[in-house]
Structure 1
């Protein structure tokens, strides 16, 4: 092998050879609950870009069909190994635009009824489930784990744009199906346990239909190793989400394989949901939000700032820390490294294909222009460095003994340190300098510097001797990652 091949590229080459191998479905690592494992027993780190149309088409009539193979190629090129597979429950209209956005296919068969097209909830649209299985298998072929999203909060709880109410076009709205299902759902614009909304336990016969759908999805993909489940994106009362998590586990209990089940922050729900509700849930993995949520508690300081200073993961749950729940159209490479060394699995809500339709930019401050490029564009300047660095982090995570690594904020002045003290350390230095406490590690360490913005690795010519505090100064101006391994 030529000596001038970058170290990171060597790691990528190794990963590409083994990427298509899955050794059973994921489960929480028994020794380090921050990560998953499989039959191999190794800690498996998850990271990747997900985008809104990667399962169903989400487009205006003038938009092209989603290029799924091109999307998978982007993931593999950037060394990603995880996606959320987005699900939309309603047929048309979107809360972010007045344009006519169409979502297809949907899981129910359309029939003629009294001269009009209506959904027959007793019949599945098998093309929907064929697409589901085909896309999950295609992701598996390139080494990608897929979180199958079961429900969509925006099918009920997001009504910012007049005339865009998604409930009007929802199959479970009684005016849209021939089965009379949905009369107990109150169109109040957000999930509320007392009012009986779409994603609550007080929704009448809708719950039975939702449970039947969950069972059908599980039957479609249960035999595949690269599957995880997510109950719903941004919505759903706590009781309803807990019920659905337990339902998935109960259904899979008697099936050949069991897969991790995830619960994400509701954002809009009554009574309010908090991150503590996620930690106390029966879910295997969670996606918390920065708290207090800015729009709910204006003028307050953040207690849990998962954007700029992610709290260290205690290991009680696997955390897939998602930019979608932290800032919508947002993300940068520094956040990914901070999240990694704090014991999280960072994932990116990627505008690889922009959300369909035109925005009212005054109502969508997260879509602001930067030099003629908006955050709803794939080529926003923050995004490519983030995509690449998520892959760099995965390459590093696969080299270290991740199962033994835990956040060790107290050991470094920057507080961004993941370590198995005395054995291995990964330190993120936002300004390229800091101090490391090695007083209890009186051994020699091999030194390796990595510079995220230029993708360059420099190995130290000499070892670092522990036993005291050590000043860290990177041989590069800007953010740096230091990797120490016991000689």
Structure 2
């Protein structure tokens, strides 16, 4: 696959995409599968921690990404030494952590307490090794600084008592009682100083690697309340607060530190918050932020139930909006359709001008399961999405993407990327394969059909002027048109 060139910057010619800082003539498009345990060990079935933390095989994960044509991951940060997710179906007793466990006395997991004044170099060695290995494989890495989810969305009491900054887990006199004490300004100056030291250490560790992006935190809270009301009607009785100002502070702090140290600047992202006062405005703080890129979330007024339980996917899954270029959008199913993904989702997102990544629960155990049909979702159920993501990347790199913009009005299907008069990529999302029209600038074009699910390629011959098109095979299809002789 080759090395991942960088550092990346927001492309000035087409700010929907990235570009390598030294070459703004070519857009860089990102896509990939990510999973909770691609950095830490200690994730497994059931609510109780294992005696020996479950290890993940990062090398196998990189091979899996390459086999599917992916070039991007979120490198997950879990801060808890003991927590649960999915209603207790999984434990997340995550190791390594950034600080040494050399303090006197035992923490809530029965192991030595943390000394938050001393870093554990093993953590940062692993961080650099994994980011570097991914870069060698041509994969860009979103280094997640903090986790918000487990502090307020995992079951109590471990959502607080499992964190290193809980009073029972460290020898430094630090004792947070909720996410409010950790990710909502103003913070205890001692907590903020520890966060600053940690941020500097992370940036020092990976700043010179070209494939680095940063993310402030996963799903921190965006509302002030005494408890979190979940979509299924249940509640987590732990206070939450609005992390927006804190996330903006993290972005500004990292940028300032990069400047002070003379480091290359890397893109920083902000992702969906939950809960928020008005779900329909959940993405407003993202697009108003100083972040370079964002991952929006479910932004309809109310959650509706999916047939299999849990919230039904929102518009970002079924009919994503066209990217305006106000921010680079990395569309992540984690924030609007967790556990779901198909080939049509990938192509719809790509044709609307977004990067796209899959919250891939199908590889939460291993990337090469003995029985791909087991699990919910199963490994095999997400294969069409994985391969389609790689297919969108092939087209992105084949086209002059830097000149192409979402242009749904040019097609009766509503899905098109176009550089009018030069290149068009059009999606027919209907299973029926009904004919559709494309408005073309005058000229002669060579055409090619591609099957969204079948992945077959068929020559579409020469096209001149506006026309009605029908795919030569059943199911959703993509039509690629390029000006003859270009």
TM-score relative to the length of structure 2? 0.84
Q: Deviations over 1:294-315 (max 9, x none)?
A: 44999xx999711100000000
Is 1:74 the counterpart of 2:71? The answer is no
Aligned to 2:42: 58
CA contact (8 A) 1:201 1:207 kept: no
Aligned to 1:386: 385
- Aligned mate of 1:257, from 248, 259, 264: 264
Q: Deviations over 1:306-345 (max 9, x none)?
A: 1100000000111000010011111111011000010000
Q: Aligned partners of 1:372, 1:73: CA distance in 2, in Å?
A: 21
What stretches of structure 1 of length at least 5 have no aligned partner?
Answer: 1-15, 357-370
Distance 1:63 1:475, change over 3 A: farther
Residue 225 of structure 1 and its aligned partner are, at CA, apart by 0.2
CA contact (8 A) 2:4 2:211 kept: no
Q: Aligned partners of 2:201, 2:158: CA distance in 1, in Å?
A: 27
Alignment of 1:468-487 (within 5 A): 468=466, 470-487=467-484
TM-score relative to the length of structure 1? 0.84
Aligned to 1:235: 220
Higher mean displacement: 196-205 or 36-45? 196-205
Secondary structure of 2:385 counterpart: helix
Distance 1:115 1:459, change over 3 A: closer
Aligned to 1:84: 74
Aligned to 1:433: 434
Aligned to 1:103: 94
Is 1:27 the counterpart of 2:9? The answer is yes
Secondary structure of 1:485 counterpart: strand
- Aligned mate of 1:125, from 86, 103, 120: 120
Distance 1:71 1:148, change over 3 A: same
Residue 401 of structure 1 and its aligned partner are, at CA, apart by 0.7
Q: Aligned partners of 2:117, 2:313: CA distance in 1, in Å?
A: 47
Distance 1:269 1:419, change over 3 A: same
CA contact (8 A) 2:407 2:418 kept: yes
CA contact (8 A) 2:435 2:471 kept: no
- Aligned mate of 1:145, from 128, 140, 163: 140
Residue 58 of structure 1 and its aligned partner are, at CA, apart by 3.1
Secondary structure of 2:316 counterpart: coil
Q: Aligned partners of 2:173, 2:451: CA distance in 1, in Å?
A: 60
CA contact (8 A) 2:362 2:376 kept: no
Q: Aligned partners of 1:125, 1:434: CA distance in 2, in Å?
A: 61
Alignment of 1:173-252 (within 5 A): 173-182=166-175, 185-187=176-178, 191=179, 196-204=180-188, 205-236=190-221, 237-252=243-258
What stretches of structure 2 of length at least 5 have no aligned partner?
Answer: 45-49, 222-242, 367-371
Q: Deviations over 1:430-477 (max 9, x none)?
A: 1233433426x11111000001212211122x31011x3x21100001
Secondary structure of 2:28 counterpart: coil
Cα root mean square deviation, aligned: 2.5
Aligned to 1:315: 325
